[in-house]
Structures are given as structure tokens and as C-alpha cells.
Amino acid sequence: MKRPGLKAIIAALAVVGVCGVIVSCVTMDHAMVPPPMIPGATYVGMDICAPCHEKQVRDFKLTSHARLQIDNEKVVGQGCEGCHGPGSLHAEAGGGRGKFIVNPSKDPKACYQCHLDKQAQMNLPYHHPVREGRMSCSSCHDPHGADIKKGKSLMIARVNDTCAQCHREQTRPHVYEHEALREGCTICHQVHGSVNQKMLIERNQNLCLKCHAQVGIGGAVGANLYIGDSNHNTRVRQGTCYNAGCHTAIHGSNLNDHLRY
Amino acid sequence: MNSALWKSLMAVLTMLALATVAPAADTGKTNSPGKEEEPEPNFLITPQVRMIQVDGDKHKFREDYWMQDGWTGGIEEFSWHQMFGAKKDTLLEIEARGLYDDDDYMMKLQLVKPDFGFVRTGFTQYRKYFDDTGGYYVPFRQPYFDLQQDVSLLMGNWYVDLGLTIPHWPKITFGFEHQSKEGDKSMLEWGTVAQTISVPATSVTKNIYPNVKSIYESVDIFKADVEYDIGKVHMADQFRFESYDNDTTRADDTGINLTTGVFKPARIREDFSHQQFSNAYFVESHIHDKVYVSAGYLYVDMTGDADFNMATFYGVGTPVAGTDKFWLIRDAKLNQDSHVLNASVMFGPFWGTTLYAGAQVEETYTDAFSNSDHREGVGPSSVVLADTSTDKGRVQENAGIRFTKIPYTVIYGEGRWVRESIDVYRSVIEGDGAAELEQRTDGDIERDEYVAGFNTSPIRRASLTGQYRNSYRRNRYDHEIDFESGYPAFITDQEFQTHEISAKLTVRPHNRVTASLKFQMVDTDIDTDTQTLSAAVPGGNVNAANYRAKIYSANVTFTPINRLYLSGYFSLTDSQTVAFDNYLNAVQPSKNDSYTAMGSAGYAIDDKTEATVEYMYQRVFTFDNNGWSSNGRPLSFTPGTVNVDAGMPLGTDSTRRMFSAGISRRITKNITARLRYGYFQYDEPSGGNVNDYLAHMAMASCAIRF
């Protein structure tokens, strides 16, 4: 007897699957929605939120998210509901923590709806542990205030204060500072996630050369790569500036002005 | 905190949970939805057991997924809140998680009595894992090294906040927080490995030997906050005292010669501690529905001490000058103080127009002194005294506008301007009184950034947002005094010019379908001017680097029937940095290309049973073989030989697959059981497949809710 082909098996499974779905559709009404939506909830507008969440509603216009707020009641899903999901069931339940409401600080999917690119970055091999639930977007960003959460809060901060909350070792002052830290940590690190270890923007010598490049003699194949008055041809063949055993004190040094050791 | 204590704590939580189940269940039965005046207890506990089996590089798996392989179990989620007191208005709320063996623990407790005060306390602990493999260089007899260590860093914090919220009194909070990091982390400062190659006859050196740094770090933070409202004016003051201690040890330069078998490690121990006071005062007021003003002042004062001890000689025989170094810092002091003052104002909306502006002034002064001892070989010690200071003044202004009168549209624009002056002074004097380095540099920094964008939704089922950002930075340095010509004071002018555009289209063709598409493009050019140092280094202007990136992202969710949802996501990043390398073959452009595809689906099998599946496929192709085959550069490469002109192969060529499927079943009204299977696969041919793994995970949990 001829054995059924792969196509026939797939077709049979598909028919069974479709029949199953159709049968189950008419026998039950259990709703599933992709996170971070709320089953059965509808948009009600920010005015409904105001009586209980007065400060958040009043201060919303101060946030960077307000720049996307269209001033028209027919456009739904804006303001509070843009991030916290449709609020009808939450309001009907009289509010309550976590009751029919999305909490973006517990699940970043609400943020990913608009910040699509960040979802990919947070899933790259080297990332802050948002996917793992150890951090949330609001660990660094203040969605109800100014964009980047300030180290001292209250919307006053210095460069790198946000990163310094967890990375004091790297951001502390040194006898010999690395001037790159004045530009901010993001000059070298891709803070949401990177394909490179330590979330570096570039993994090879380009990371350093983009600031330290200079004209040397030659200008042809095999020419010399000078940094300052020192020829680095041999050293850069060994690896990058920070991993070839030389400028390892990359965030600053208390011992050496060339950031060695 | 030791694991026995954690286990005890989790046992107590579990007992507390079980003890509460019965009365909570009874209460739940008597509470009908209509009886809202009787606050209902809310209790959830989810025990979990999990098994992960890894074939291949288990360290890489742990690093990728922040999970330990093998058996683990504990409480995945615990939450309990209860209203009590005479008026039933006092809230006790506990949240916890505890997975033994993963060292993943969290507990938060808060007790809140309205119009009186609160107690909030909690702790968190988790482990960050690191792979212990370094670089990969095919021509070597041993192309990679693996430390065979379980490298991980245990991170945690605990805190307690006590607050008073008595009406018409200032809201006062006192708190203490302790943060810690303890363990090892892998570093990118890879050690040297050398081998003599026959064709051509030479010794090749590459830095591929992995290393780790041992870290003990602790931070103690005392906090005191006061908030008070007078009329429409809200005032707040935050005081912080921070005591920080960091002690690290690392093997920084492990020299291995594969030809001679010589092994030469360097050990470096570094301590740093600081005490920091900071106080931030802030006042804000919605003077009018359409007028908001705020102002703040931050003062920070930091005093630090540092130690350093390095020895590159651990062999036998006599230390050799030039290679065997014994450097130590006898004493280093660092002081920093900052004053930051800011003010902002917002008007509107008036006729659909909102205006805002702000300014921040910062003055930060840092001075440091170190007394170090540099000895090489068997030579005498050389005392080096370093005195450095940095005085930074910075003014930042910003202004913006939003306009919403165009139907179904908002447009906005914002400008940010920063002017900064930096005075750097460095003086290094050796023990004989000779100046080794004296440098005085004045820097003038300009940063201008402009953003303009819109959001429109002219038809109900579609919205479009777009934004353009232009950023310009210029750093000009005047090296008034520069004893050590050539470094570090050789850059005189730098310009960074960035253009960035992004657009996002969201369409809802049907109530059951939502699709979003986003595109971003970034282009940055960096130009640098350097000094003329010698005939070999003529200096002048150079286009130092160009960075460009294009990122495409798309997301679709589809709910064909009430009981089924489908979700798909795709993102592609195409980016490259090309820095000026004076045509040196060892430096290749940095490519950071990757794409990620994800899909998920959820299906309600019946009223009590749900199934979910997730899939992720990720491809990273940033590897550059750097001269091992034709790669666009005119290299004279012969297979089987070493191209001494080539650099270190870096980057990654990898594929990652993750699949998980789960099913949950509501057994009773209050109990839901879940089963989940996970499949994880990683292939990295660019690393000789030494980092590859294949892992299976099985997990069972049971949510008990009353």
C-alpha cells in the first residue's frame, strides 16, 4: 500500500486543526489577547484617570511622551492608556494595584509597542537584564517625568549620574580621567543592548580610533598608525587598545596618564 | 547573605503562605463582588520547579539567559496584600520571589497607613553569569583558552524606608540602602599569547587569553527626604550620604608563549573608597492651569581614597627591567564637588500651542593627588608625585514647542544648547624633582541639538510619527602647557555631526489586526584636528570616523478569533563604523549587523486550558577575519601561512534559536498549573564552535490564588 506523502499529512493536520478551531469557537468564549492588552477592556480617555491619579494626569504634559498627544477625543489609546492599556475595567473595578491595568515597569512589552527597535536591542546577546525581569525600562527612564531618570531624582543631574547609580566603579573620578567619560557613557556603550561584549558600540579598534585618529606618514597600504607620537602598528595587530595589554584602565587610572593598568 | 538564611526566609514565606491559605479561602467565599466595603485579602503563591540540561558551553548559556543549569526550585511569585486596622484602611503588602540555586531572591514589604506614614523594606539578589572564553585565533597551536571557571557576580541590595505622611505636615522619609557586588566577572583585557610561526619565520602575538576580575563592592546610602506643599507650591529636599568601597583583583596580562611554554602573569589589586554627600532642593508650582515653573539646586561633595598594587613578576630568577614591574600607589586622594542649578517653565496650551524652556548651570571641580612608587627589575624605586585638577563649567539651555491645532496632528520642535569650559591641569614629578609631565589644557565645548517631529492620525485606523534629530558637538582644546609632547594633549579640535531620522507607521486595518513598521537611520561624522608632532606625524585635519546605521523593525499582532492570538516581530540592524586607520590593514571597519525574528501565539483550548508558544531566531554577523582571506583589502595572503600584517579577528558570526511551549490549566477556581518546555540553541562558527550549546528546559509551576 502506498504510504501517504508529507503534503497529504500536512493537509490532513491542517484540516483537523481548522475544524478544531471552528468547533471550539462556537462552544466557548474564552478570549486570548497578546500582551500587554487587557481582555474585554476599552479605551475611556485620560479624564477618567484624573480623580485617582491627579498628579500623574496633571504632570503628563511635562513629560516627553506628551509630544505625541493628539488633541482630539476621537483618537483613542493616548495619554495614560497609551502605556497602561485600555482603562475601562480598571475604572469599573474602582482601581487597585494591578487590577485590569498594565504595569510597564513589570513588563516591557508596553514600551516595545512604540519603541520597536529597543525590543530587538534588549534581545541581543549583551543587554541590560530587562528581558530577565531584573530591571525594567523605568529603572533608567522616568516615563512620568523627564526622559532619563536622574541619579539624584528631582530632575537635576550631571552627565553619567543615571549610569552611576549602578556602575560607580566605572564612573567615579580618577587621578587621570579618560576624556571620553565627559561625552557620556553612550559614546562607547550601546546601553539597551549590543552584539558586542560589554555592550560596546564597536568591538574592534574603531571604538578608540573614532576619537584618537590622526594623520601619520605614509598614506598607503602598510602605512604607520600613530596615536600621539607613538607608532601603534604592532600593538593594534595584537588586539584592541583596551585588550592588548596596554590601555586597560579604560575608564580612568590613578597611576598612569596613558591609562595603562 | 548566605544561602542558608535565604532558604530559611523562603521557608518562612512558604509557611506564611500556607498558613494564610485556609482563612483567606474562607474569606474569599464570603466576599461577594457586591460587598466592596469588606476589603478582600489577595494572596498568590506560585511554587516552581525547573530543570535545564545543557550540552556544550554551559557558561555561555548561563551568560546568555541569566539562568543556572541543573535543577532549581522555589517560589516563582508570591504576593499578599491585606487591609486591616479599625477602619480597614491600613495596607500590608508583600511581594517575593526566591529560586534556590539561581540565587534569585526578591522581597518587598510595605505597610501603609494613610494620613500617618509607611514602612517600606525589601531586598533583591541575583547572579550575573559570564562566559570564561577569550579570543579565537586559528593559526595558534591552541587557538582558544577556556578558564574552566564558573564566573559570576552576585549582586544585591536591601533597603528600609520609614515615612511620615501626616496631613498638613511635611512628608518626611528616612531610609537606608545597602548595595553589593561580590564575585568575579570576565574582562575584555585579554592576555598575551605568542607563538613562533614557520612561514614566514616570525613570532606572532595576539591577545586572546581570557581573564577575570574579582570584585568586592559595597555601598551604604543614608537618605532623608522632605516634601511639603504650601498652596500651589510643592517643595522637596533630598539628602544623601553615600559610603562606597570597592576592592578588585585581576590578572591583567597573562603572557603565554606557546613555543617556549613560558607563562607570565601580572596581578593587579586596586582599592577605592569614597564618602559622598549630596543634597538636592527642588521647588515647583502649577501657578495656573497653563503655567508651570520649577527650580532646583544640587550640591555634591565627594572625598575618595585609592590604593593600587601591581606586580608582573611571579617567576623564578631575577626580575628584568622593562618587563618585571612593581608599581604601587602609596597614597591617592580624590575630591570632587559640584553645584548644579536649574530652572524651567512651561506655558500652555494656548490655542493649541505649548511652550517650554529651561536652563541648567553646573560647576564641577575635581582635584586628585597620588604618591606612587614605580620599580622595575631589581632597580631602585622611583617615586612619582601626581597632582591633577579639572574645573568644569557647563551651561545647558533648552526650549521647545508643541502645536496641536492641526486636525488629528501634533507637531513639535525642541532645541538644546550646551556650552562648556574645561580647565585641566596635570603635574607629574619624579622623586628626583624632575618634571615628567606638566599639562594645562583649556577646553571649549559646544553642543547643539535640534529635534523636530510630528504625530498624525488622519484616519482612525492609522497613525504616523516622524522625527528628525540634528546633533552637533565641537570640542576645542588649547594646550597652553604640554611638557610631554605627543600624548595625551595632541587633539586640538573635534567635531561630531549626527543626522538621525525615524518614522513609524501603525495601522489597524481591522479591530483584530495591528501592524507597526519603524525605520531609523543614523549618520555620524567625526572630524579631528591634531598637533604637528614630528615629521612622522604631520598632524592636521582628518575625517576620523563615519558611523551609519539603518534599523528596520516591524510588529504584527493578529487575533483571528477570540481564543487565539498571533504575534510576529522582525528587526534588522545594518550598521558600520569606519575609522581613519592610515591604511593599516590590521584595522578593519566595524560592522554590527544583526537581525531578530520573533513569533508568539496563545490559544485557549477550553475555558480552563491555555497554550502558548514562542520562537526567536537571531543572526549576528559582525565577524571580521582580519586578513585570513580576501576581505576587500589588498592583502598578500597565502593559505596556510600567517599574514603578519593582519590584525586580531574580532566580532561574531552566530545564530541563536529559542523555542518555548507552555500549557496552563485552571484546576480549580484558585489553582492554576503550568508546564513549560524550552529549547535553546547557539552556534558560533567564528569562535571555532567552542561556545556552542544546546539546552532543554522543563518547568512546572502552580499558581495558588485566594
C-alpha cell at B119: 514602612
Which residues of chain A does B580 touch, with a Cβ-Cβ cutoff of 8 Å?
209, 213-214
ipTM value for the complex: 0.89
The pLDDT assigned to B132 comes to: 92
The H or E element that residue A23 is part of is: helix A6-27
Give the residue-averaged pLDDT of A85-107: 88
The pLDDT assigned to B321 comes to: 75
Convert B35-79 into a string of H (helix), E (strand) and C (coil). Answer: CCCCCCCEEEEEEEEEEEEEEECHHHHHHHHCCCCEEEEEEEEEE
Tell me the shortest Cα–Cα distance from B150 to chain A, in angstroms: 18
- B66 vs A132, A183, A219: nearest CB: A132
Of the residues B218, B333, B403, B587, the best mutation for testing chain A's interface (the one with the most A CB atoms within 10 Å of its CB) is B587
Residue of chain B whose alpha carbon sits nearest to that of A215: B539
What percent of chain A is predicted at pLDDT more than 90?
A: 34
The answer to whether the Cβ–Cβ distance between B537 and A216 falls below 8 Å is yes
Report helix, strand or coil for B246: strand
Between residues A156 and A144, the one the model is more confident about: A144
The pLDDT assigned to A234 comes to: 86
Closest C-alpha to B126, from B191, B187, B180 = B180
Closest C-alpha to B289, from B354, B343, B227, B236 = B354
Which residues of chain A does B270 touch, with a Cβ-Cβ cutoff of 8 Å?
254
The pLDDT assigned to B402 comes to: 94
- A230 vs B428, B487, B584: nearest CB: B487
Contact indicator for B629, B661 with CB cutoff of 8 Å: no
Of the residues B582, B598, B683, the best mutation for testing chain A's interface (the one with the most A CB atoms within 10 Å of its CB) is B582
- A75 vs B329, B408, B606: nearest CB: B408
Find cell 559570576 and name the residue: B152
| B262 backbone φψ class: left, alpha, beta (φ>0; ψ -120 to 50) | beta
Question: Where would I find the H helices in A50-179?
Answer: 54-59, 80-84, 88-92, 109-112, 116-121, 161-164, 168-171
Which residues of chain A does B516 touch, with a Cβ-Cβ cutoff of 8 Å?
113-114, 116
The answer to whether the Cβ–Cβ distance between A119 and B487 falls below 8 Å is no
The pLDDT assigned to A25 comes to: 55
Residue B435 CB burial class (10 angstroms; 0-12, 13-18, ≥19): exposed
Res. A20 pLDDT band, cuts 50 70 90:
low
Which residues of chain A does B581 touch, with a Cβ-Cβ cutoff of 8 Å?
205, 209, 213, 225
On the question of pLDDT at A32 being above 80, the answer is no
Question: Where would I find the H helices in B560-699?
Answer: none
Tell me the shortest Cα–Cα distance from A256 to chain B, in angstroms: 9
Return the CATH number of the domain spanning residue range B581-706: 3.90.1150
Query: One-letter amino acid identity for A203?
Result: R
Q: Is the dihedral of CA B427, B430, B434, B436 positive or negative?
A: negative
**What is the β-pairing status of strands B325-350 and B90-100?**
unpaired
For residue B501, the cross-strand partners are B468, B521
Q: Which residues of chain B have pLDDT under 70?
A: 1-41, 199, 253, 314-316, 485, 488, 627-642
Res. A146 pLDDT band, cuts 50 70 90:
low
For residue B303, the cross-strand partners are B275, B335
- A225 vs B66, B296, B581: nearest CB: B581
The pLDDT assigned to B1 comes to: 46
Task: Give the alpha-carbon dihedral of B601, B604, B610, B611, to 10 degrees.
Answer: -30
The answer to whether the Cβ–Cβ distance between A229 and B490 falls below 8 Å is yes
On the question of pLDDT at A222 being above 60, the answer is no
Q: How far apart are CA B340 and CA B334, in angstroms?
A: 20
C-alpha cell at B249: 583583583
For chains A and B, what is the number of CB pairs under 8 angstroms?
430
- A224 vs B410, B582, B618: nearest CB: B582
- B217 vs A34, A66, A169: nearest CB: A169
The pLDDT assigned to A75 comes to: 84
Give the residue-averaged pLDDT of A53-70: 87
Closest C-alpha to B132, from B79, B65, B210 = B210
Q: How far apart are CA B227 and CA B236, in angstroms?
A: 4
The pLDDT assigned to B13 comes to: 45
- A177 vs B390, B445, B585: nearest CB: B390
**Non-local CB neighbours of B468 within 8 Å, separated by 6+ positions:** B451, B452, B453, B499, B500, B501
The pLDDT assigned to B419 comes to: 96
Contact indicator for B523, B472 with CB cutoff of 8 Å: no
Predicted TM-score of the model (pTM): 0.89
Residue of chain B whose alpha carbon sits nearest to that of A179: B488
The per-residue DSSP string of B2-27 comes to -HHHHHHHHHHHHHHHHHHHHHHHHH
Question: What pLDDT, in 10s, does the model give residues B564-582?
Answer: 999 999 999 999 999 998 8
Question: What pLDDT, in 10s, does the model give residues B388-441?
Answer: 999 999 999 999 999 999 999 999 999 999 999 999 999 998 877 777 888 899
Contact indicator for B464, B456 with CB cutoff of 8 Å: yes
**Non-local CB neighbours of B692 within 8 Å, separated by 6+ positions:** B56, B57, B60, B682, B683, B684
Tell me the shortest Cα–Cα distance from B478 to chain A, in angstroms: 15
On the question of pLDDT at A17 being above 90, the answer is no
Q: What architecture is the B442-564 domain classified under in CATH?
A: Beta Barrel (2.40)
Which residues of chain A does B592 touch, with a Cβ-Cβ cutoff of 8 Å?
194-196, 201-203
The answer to whether the Cβ–Cβ distance between A34 and B602 falls below 8 Å is yes
Closest C-alpha to B205, from A244, A71, A84, A110 = A244
